Chain A
């Protein structure tokens, strides 16, 4: 996807706070949020796996909720606050979810990983002591083709423990 946005209606100016930094851009109305994040802001950690909102590789946090950024237009995030995979580790220290994924070998090709982590970021902030069943339900909207989910579930349980 490109830097040049293409046509498709009158351009819209939006202001969003992403990973703590405020941006103002003028964008075409049909631009998807995921393309805004990846191509305009250059944050390539948010991936596109399906463009039909099934796989969850594009999951980011918008105003505290995990959303699939391929399902929203960029203008819908106007005035909002976004957190992406690039924004969750502080001072080069991994977030406990990232740490748990590393320790439990919860990623192989790593393409789906940022989406899982962002989804769990919201879930684990609201569910301190989830059961394995609850974790499995929470990540139902994210697809992984490599791990069979076994170690992702393990990592999520370990992260819940770490985050206390």
Chain B
């Protein structure tokens, strides 16, 4: 095999030059001649009937073009509905009007829209709109919401349950529990988070009344999915709707769904005959853009005296907020329940999830989406079992880890490839686990609180197989598209249906194509994010971009190369089978002097006078790649903390991540994904917490109150990779976007609780803030 020129190399990102110099192009950087600005009035109450709206004072303000209420949009824009209509779960048909006309169901609901010549005036107009509300009883707590007599949020779901989803795998839990030495019960809260991409959401819409074409620039992770849903809601045919997602300033799942905002400005651009733009304020982003996690789980675990975990019975309430967002029903079910045996040989999983409606911001996919919740539960189980049996948490994992792949998990998944135990041991070795246990025991004698936390995970990613997606009720397939086009000059343009927004695929995709075609990387351009340029694509989320999008690109490049080989054979007057290809040159086997470059072949494919018989001119291929199975990255993370006995703040002394993400295309970029993911997961363990009061007001509606960690709150992260290629895609890659977030929350929580374990602490819910730790220590009578 020839030496790799690009794959696996630490190549600096090509997208950086524009971003480093202020030449990126984000939605807020755009405006068109005549652009007007929309601002949204959000509900004053979390649950209220709208009795009347008086817009006259607002409309009189100079510069205000109009004020529009729910009555205006009612028949013009169809309400949003979820795209993941979970099968077999009695899913209720919940509708989300883009501007509410009868009642508001959470504080982010849009009640009226002001449009003005400039945004300052649009916000002035909001102040002058008078709304008369009839407040209704509010329910934000999901355990309250499912009780009889709770306020009803949607008539379609009289008990506020949007669906009930069930999965049982393997032996019956009761029979396995009867055979077990122990059964333990525990309640776990996986609290609500707010994704908080640094760029808020927004859109700019332009309508050409002569051609009937609507163009919308929107902060989206998946412009084609946006186009399809927007087309249905607005009644504009897809071929007249162009959606462009330019540079996007982070998403973490929050820019997957279609929200009311982009539909409102689109409709108004059509009606007003002027381009309409809207950018969220940060406060709007906190209130109106979806949230993540928010589970309450009661579980039972059956285990032996040797620490073997036999079975789990899991009962989870998942808070979905006031409406069902685009992918919401699939997150706490398919992406959570199926992952509940993790990297362990669990024989029985019995899980039931109720999706609960409350008067809160809708909840949907947030980095990891379901898999962090499953991993958190399992990794708490491992530590709790260790605690109960007086075993080392590492030994409990050793008893339970899957030996080899492929492995048929009891939940029905087939894990692709991996050395689960080897990676586990390597992580412990790299983190100097045994040494830290010794340090811990000495430190305890001095009254110091040091803890070591382990988290082993496996995740289902490269979100694909369409047949599986469809079987679960997802509205679309989950393949990905690619066009690889070699121009007459031999330069290459690649069009991908993925839409990277920070993950670096403009670079890694170019690496893949340059490697496959043997051309210089500078000759390859990656185009994404515009429905008018790329074939229908599913977008970037679920760590799918490189395994699925990259897979499509590799296959397209190979197809192009095969065509080029046939043309080369014709040019060289040789048999196709005798033509070899290496580093950009085709040559006749045994006669290296008889050669043509790929550039010469490219030109010949367009001059088209020397093509083999039956060969079409041109040199490009389009591939729609639908993988046979998911990919399953896995790994083990180890975290060491010390709790300061004056401030009660946990300080991370070491954080080591060993991940098997399959073939690593660019280690520089992959490490960056792990760093960021780990810190996001750590933030849930220690800092971030979305809080609503009883009236449904979001108390954490800004960075002052919702604690995104800063550079002084976070540690360095040591990231290492082990490569076991996945047989499930042409590149052997597995995906890395979410691994860090999936693993780290449990690693950090386990470490903090381990630091307190000798005091008899078994469990405490996140976030483990200094205040919470102080409370625990106070209760245990430990003096600072």
Contact = CB atoms under 8 A, between A and B. Distances in A.
The reply to whether chain A is a binding partner of chain B is: yes
Contacts of B17: 102
A7 interface: yes
B118 A6 contact: yes
A110 B63 contact: no
A109 B198 contact: yes
B669 interface: yes
Majority DSSP secondary structure for residues of A touching B: loop
A45 B119 contact: no
Among B24, B120, B677, B740, max chain A CB count under 10 A is at B120
Interface residues of B, number: 67
A44 interface: yes
Nearest to B744: A148
A145 B19 contact: no
B131 to A, nearest CB: 23
Contact of A1 (B119, B672, B740): B119
B26 A101 contact: no
Contacts of A45: 21-24
B503 interface: yes
Nearest to B501: A109
Contact of B117 (A6, A51, A52): A6
A143 to B, nearest CB: 5
A71 to B, nearest CB: 13
B260 interface: no
Nearest to A87: B22
A111 interface: yes
A140 to B, nearest CB: 5
A3 to B, nearest CB: 8
A109 B506 CA distance: 12
Given A103-B12, A139-B711, A145-B250, A2 B21 contact: no
A108 B197 CA distance: 12
Given A52-B282, A57-B198, A145-B252, A2 B15 contact: no
A152 interface: yes
A107 interface: yes
Contact of B249 (A44, A84, A110): A110
A150 B717 contact: yes
A140 B710 contact: yes
A82 interface: no
Contact of A6 (B31, B116, B712, B740): B116
Contacts of A18: none
Contacts of A105: 12-13, 668-669, 671-672
Contact of B678 (A3, A38, A148): A148
A85 interface: yes
A37 B485 CA distance: 40
B341 interface: no
Contacts of A107: 16, 19-20
Contacts of B676: 108, 145-148
Contact of A143 (B669, B678, B703): B703
Interface in A62-118: 84-86, 89, 94, 98, 101-103, 105, 107-114, 117
Interface in A113-142: 113-114, 117, 135-137, 139-142
Nearest to A45: B22
Nearest to A8: B120
A111 B26 contact: yes
A44 B20 contact: no
Nearest to B23: A45
Contacts of B117: 2, 4, 6
A16 interface: no
- Secondary structure type dominating chain B contacts: loop
B196 interface: yes
Instruction: Indicate the size class of the contact surface on chain A.
Output: 35 or more
Interface in B229-287: 247-250, 252, 279, 281-283
A144 B23 CA distance: 19
Interface string B91-125: 00000000000000000000000001111110010
Contacts of A50: 282, 702-703
Most chain B C-beta atoms within 10 Å of own C-beta, residue among A57, A107, A114, A142: A107
Contact of B702 (A8, A52, A117, A141): A52
B16 A148 contact: no
B36 to A, nearest CB: 8
Contacts of B157: none
Contacts of B703: 50, 52, 54-55, 143
A1 B277 CA distance: 9
B37 interface: yes
A2 B279 CA distance: 12
B20 A101 contact: yes
Interface string B669-685: 10110011111100000
Contacts of B704: 52, 54
Contacts of A28: 120
Residue of A38, A51, A84 with most chain B CB atoms under a 10 A cut-off:
A51
A102 B15 CA distance: 10
B282 A49 contact: yes
Interface of B: 12-13, 15-26, 28-29, 31, 35, 37, 62-63, 116-121, 124, 196-200, 247-250, 252, 279, 281-283, 501-504, 668-669, 671-672, 675-680, 702-704, 708, 710-712, 714, 716-717, 740
15 contacts: A44-B22, A45-B24, A47-B198, A49-B200, A50-B282, A98-B20, A109-B249, A110-B15, A110-B18, A111-B26, A136-B712, A145-B197, A150-B714, A151-B675, A152-B711
Q: 10 smallest A-B Cβ distances: which pairs? A: A45-B22, A110-B19, A148-B679, A111-B249, A109-B502, A54-B703, A6-B120, A2-B118, A108-B502, A85-B22
